[in-house]
Amino acid sequence: MFSNEYRWDEVSENAVSDWYLPGQGEKYPTCGKVYYQGCLQTQYHLFPIDPSQRGKAYIKKVKNNCGRAQCPECNKKWMVEATKNIEHRIEEGKPSQYRRAIHVTISPPASEWSIFEGKGEYPKMRRKATRLAKKAGLIGFVMIPHAYRQNSSSKLWRFSPHFHLLGYGWVVYTKMIYEKTGWIIKNHRIRKSVGATAYYQISHAGVKEGYHVISWCGCLAWNKIKVSRLKKERQVCPLCGAPTLKVIYYGRGSHPLEGSPNGEYYLDSDEWRYTSRFRYI
């Protein structure tokens, strides 16, 4: 079983113990559904930079997104947000004695792959990987599980569980750890871009229902350090600065944005209404 190799789209049909690649789960009924946000306060839209926008309603066409790793519709958004959070926490939680984060892989011997397979057994392997990483000199890191490894020649995927770590430390004792446990710890050294490395690793991470794809350990663990939250971009009207709300088209004719790509539009406000009862300014 361990020697079988599959194309990306075949992994879901041959998944080992319900371990999948990102985007190979089920989407929610609302995922990818179009909705509209906007600002209908046209009385304040009098002095736009573009004269054609004067007195127009601001309408933004967007798709609903669940932000889950397993969703085939929304996983790209999850990858972007996860990358931002990893990059932010690694930078904010940087110990004073280290300047740059390193990338490390830690792989169990094939004799222990069954732990990765067993129902409810994965946390045991994750704890062991964390313990060995600390013994090898890592003091704080994010851990990303990979259930499959790509054959560099055939580009096919096979079951081969391992972990990718991004964080801080000075890797030592790898030979001793291998001789005692069979686990292989490899230092890929300093990363020029934490974000690029994180994005690539989570793009083919192991995804299993009920378990986090991203775990924080050591001095970067949630119970060890508190970092500032990333500020979410406020959805505001570019014409007047008011917060945007969900709107709906009430016109009698065909929908003016039917078939149009996602984006921002400036339209007459007469046939648009807020979906909420009250409008707060």
pLDDT score at 281: 46
Burial 138-154 (b: 16+ CB within 10 A, else e): bbbbbbbbbbbbeeeee
**Cα-atom radius of gyration of the chain, to the nearest Å?**
24
8 A C-beta contact, residue 168 and residue 103: no
**Mean pLDDT, the chain cut into blocks of 10 residues (281 residues total):** 81 93 95 95 91 95 95 96 96 92 96 82 93 97 97 94 96 97 96 94 95 96 91 89 93 90 94 74 46
pLDDT score at 277: 60
pLDDT score at 234: 85
Please give the model's pTM, rounded to 2 decimal places.
Answer: 0.87
Domain coordinates in residue numbering, the chain: 5-24+68-218, 34-65+244-274
8 A C-beta contact, residue 266 and residue 57: yes
pLDDT score at 133: 98
Q: Pairing state of beta strands 184-190 and 138-150? A: unpaired
pLDDT score at 76: 96
Question: 172-205, pLDDT tens digit by residue?
Answer: 999 999 999 999 999 999 988 999 999 999 999 9
Residue-wise DSSP of the chain: -TT-EE-HHHHGGG-STT-B-TT-SPPPTTTT-EEEEEE--GGG-SS-SSGGGTTPEEEEEEE-----TT-TTTHHHHHHHHHHHHHHHHHHT--TT-SS-EEEEEE--GGGHHHHHSTTTHHHHHHHHHHHHHHTTEEEEEEEEEEEEE-TTT--EEEEEEEEEEEEE----HHHHHHHH--EEEEEEE-S-HHHHHHHHHHT--B-TTS-S-EEEETTSTTT---PPPPPPP-B-TTT-PBPEEEEE--SSS-TTTTPPSEEEEE-STTEEESSS----
Token pair 């009430």 in the structure block, residue? 250
Helix (H), strand (E), coil (C) string for 161-175: EEEEEEEEECCCCHH
8 A C-beta contact, residue 106 and residue 129: yes
pLDDT score at 276: 75
